[in-house]
Amino acid sequence: MKSIGLIFTTDYEIFGNGSGCVEKCMIEPTERMTTILENHGATLTLFVDVCEYWAFEKEFAKGNLKKDWAGMIRAQLQDLAKRGHDVQLHFHPQWLDYSFDGIRWTLNYDLWRIGKLKYEDLEFPDRGLKKLFGRGKKTLETIITPVKKDYSCHIFRAGAWSMQPEKDVLKALAENGFDIDSTVASGLAFQDDYTFYDFTNSPNEPYWKIEDSLNSISGNGKIKEVPIFTTKMSLPKKLKFLGLKKKRSIPMKPRGCVGASIATEGKGKLSKLAEVFAEKRKMFTFGDATSFEEMTYFAERAIQRAKSSKNGLFPVVAISHPKTFANEQELSNFLEWVAKNNKEIVFTNYNEI
Ligand SMILES: [Zn+2]
């Protein structure tokens, strides 16, 4: 009897300040990630940041961007869709207002949180939520439908988990036919100068219906929230897993991928470490230099939770980013462990649950 349906997801993008390159931080690591998953009968759901895609497309057409990054992204997404992976929507709205000097992107961080955009924006119509979701959905459906006739873009995850205040975002999602959101990281909260999310009051359920709040169950809601799996982790466990990363020298970024997230830019190692220790819960990640042992810890915690829940198959969403995926061997070992030792886990995706 299977108790959890493991859903592998990745947020497909370069870094939030415009650093990084599409080949080394997206295309190549994504290919490695999907090949490993395929070898073990699993598929990947890619949450594609279309805001940066639009910028790459525009600047290449103008002759400012030397390589056709948008074309490379299109080719990879079509190839992956043909191979059975799913392609869904992600937004980093800071890309909706950028300048590009041929080398560096300058992005508008006032737009960082999608929750702060208006439902309709009269001054900047392209930044209005209703229009934005329509355009995002259309972009992905135009790319994928030629290779997969029954494809539909109907699932969303907000960039930097920063959807709150979410009322208008959820209205725009429902208006555009979206029926699943996968932004919530159960029980977690975070705030810095850019990012803001608070899921400390999220329901203790495998998934729930929402209407105008991510954290409250609504019987009439048209959208299902399928949260990212999180679990508590004791200090000794954190130290053990940190030690394994160090001992095996698992890199944080793929070879050749150079860039920094805006949140960690300029932060010292000590303050990053302090943040790790302050975290009350951890997201189930299979990137970020996560070891095989840590992945099995997440999976075992998920099975325990599923057993205490009355529902049937308990969906467990795991997250990663190609730009921080350099632990191929660890993921491979984890998938092998599932195949050999764990009859409780089945690999699945949002459309199957
Ligand atoms: Zn993202």
pLDDT confidence bin for 301, thresholds 50/70/90: very high
Q: Residue 92 Cα, ligand 1 centroid: separation in angstroms?
A: 6
Q: Residue 352 Cα, ligand 1 centroid: separation in angstroms?
A: 24
Q: Residue 13 Cα, ligand 1 centroid: separation in angstroms?
A: 6
Q: What percent of the chain has pLDDT over 90?
A: 89
Place of tokens 């029954």: 150
What is the token pair recorded at 276?
A: 């790790």
Taking only the tens place, the pLDDT of each residue in 9-61 is 999 999 999 999 999 999 999 999 999 999 999 999 999 999 999 999 999 99
What is the token pair recorded at 321?
A: 């980013």
Task: Quote the pLDDT of residue 278.
Answer: 75
Task: Quote the pLDDT of residue 263.
Answer: 63
Contact (CB, 8 A) for 42 and 35: no
Average pLDDT over residues 116-143: 98
pLDDT confidence bin for 266, thresholds 50/70/90: low
Q: Residue 26 Cα, ligand 1 centroid: separation in angstroms?
A: 12
Q: Is residue 353 part of a domain?
A: no
Domain that holds residue 111: 4-347
Mode of pairing for the β-strands spanning 4-12 and 345-347: parallel
Q: Please give the span between the terminal C-alpha atoms of the chain, in angstroms, as a whole number.
A: 16
Side-chain half-sphere of 333: how many Cα atoms within 13 Å? 11
Average predicted confidence (pLDDT) for the chain: 94
Residue 261 clears pLDDT 70, i.e. is over it: yes
pLDDT confidence bin for 76, thresholds 50/70/90: very high
Segment among 102-106, 275-279, 331-335 with least mean pLDDT: 275-279
97 — alpha (psi -120 to 50), left (phi > 0) or beta?
beta
Residue 353 clears pLDDT 90, i.e. is over it: no
Residue 267 clears pLDDT 70, i.e. is over it: no
Number of domains in the chain: 1
Average pLDDT over residues 269-277: 71
Q: Residue 12 Cα, ligand 1 centroid: separation in angstroms?
A: 7
Q: Residue 16 Cα, ligand 1 centroid: separation in angstroms?
A: 8
Average pLDDT over residues 304-310: 86
Average pLDDT over residues 345-351: 95
Q: Residue 53 Cα, ligand 1 centroid: separation in angstroms?
A: 13
Q: Characterize 280-314 residue by residue with b for buried, 16 or more Cβ atoms within 10 angstroms of its Cβ, and e for exposed.
A: ebbbbbbbbbbbbebbbbbbebbbebbeeeeeebb
Residue 279 clears pLDDT 90, i.e. is over it: no
CB neighbour list of residue 285: distance below 8 Å, 6 or more residues apart: 318, 319, 320
Q: Residue 11 Cα, ligand 1 centroid: separation in angstroms?
A: 5
Q: Is residue 20 part of a domain?
A: yes
> CA–CA separation, 339 vs 53, rounded Å?
36
> CA–CA separation, 337 vs 4, rounded Å?
15
Taking only the tens place, the pLDDT of each residue in 161-176 is 999 999 999 999 999 9
Cα dist from 346 to 33, 154, 302, whole Å? 18, 23, 12
Q: Is residue 94 part of a domain?
A: yes
Q: Strand, coil or helix: what is 129?
A: helix
Amino acid found at 98: Y
Cα 59 from chain centre = 25
Q: Residue 307 Cα, ligand 1 centroid: separation in angstroms?
A: 31
pLDDT confidence bin for 72, thresholds 50/70/90: very high
Q: Strand, coil or helix: what is 224?
A: strand
Q: Residue 158 Cα, ligand 1 centroid: separation in angstroms?
A: 7
Taking only the tens place, the pLDDT of each residue in 200-227 is 999 999 999 999 999 999 999 999 999 9
CATH code of residue 20: 3.20.20.370
> CA–CA separation, 17 vs 53, rounded Å?
14
> CA–CA separation, 164 vs 132, rounded Å?
17
What is the token pair recorded at 8?
A: 């592998």
Q: Is residue 124 part of a domain?
A: yes
Task: Quote the pLDDT of residue 295.
Answer: 98
